[in-house]
Amino acid sequence: MRFLLKILTFGLLPFLTLVIGVNVGVRFSQELLYGTPSLEQQFGTGAVVTNPEEEVDLAIMWEVWNLLLKRYISPEELKTTPMVYGAITGLVEAIGDPHTLFMTPQQNKEFRDALQGELQGIGAELMVQGGKITVVAPLKGSPAERASLLPNDIIVAVDGESVEGLSLYETVHRIRG
């Protein structure tokens, strides 16, 4: 029994400590030498799906991402955050639901501020109906009411610029200026 304890204490424990130390050291040295891992390294090239018949290989997305970073005419102008937000926006739009949208943190803050009454608008409740931005109801005494907006009116332009194809958020943002 004592012999087994000595083997564990002086053999296995130092060996495990060495293996763990090397593993941790390699990971930290790679981060120091090569910077933080790329998005592809962090998240991998595949998507986790619940239906194996719909398994998706995201390698093509990472291939395009890397090609942009390597071959874009002005790669220094490429910014990671807008590229990621653009990819997320495309993903959300691909489902084809006009009531589902992605908002950047800044857009989300502005949206929340609007809900709390911290921003002023035209004083009308708007919604998407049949792909069109539609007035639900102007508020009493509001600029919308003074401009004679009525329920079911369709907003087609803001300051003379078409809003066709814009989301509700983008249209409201244009209305506010």
Total of domains in the chain: 3
Mean pLDDT of the chain: 77
Closest CA to 166 of 123, 110, 124, 128: 128
Scan for tokens 């489902």, then name that residue.
95
The full DSSP string for 2-54 is: HHHHHHIIIIIHHHHHHHHHHHHHHHHHHHHHH-SPPHHHHH-SB---S-GGG
Domain CATH code at residue 158: 2.30.42.10
Task: Note the pLDDT tens digit of each residue in 111-158.
Answer: 777 666 544 578 888 888 888 888 888 888 888 889 898 999 999 998
Same domain, 142 and 172: yes
How much of the chain exceeds pLDDT 90, in percent? 8
Question: Is 165 domain-assigned?
Answer: yes
Task: Note the pLDDT tens digit of each residue in 22-71.
Answer: 666 666 665 555 555 555 555 555 555 566 667 777 888 889 988 888 88
Q: What CA–CA distance (Å, rounded) separates 145 from 164?
A: 23
Structural domain range at position 13: 1-34
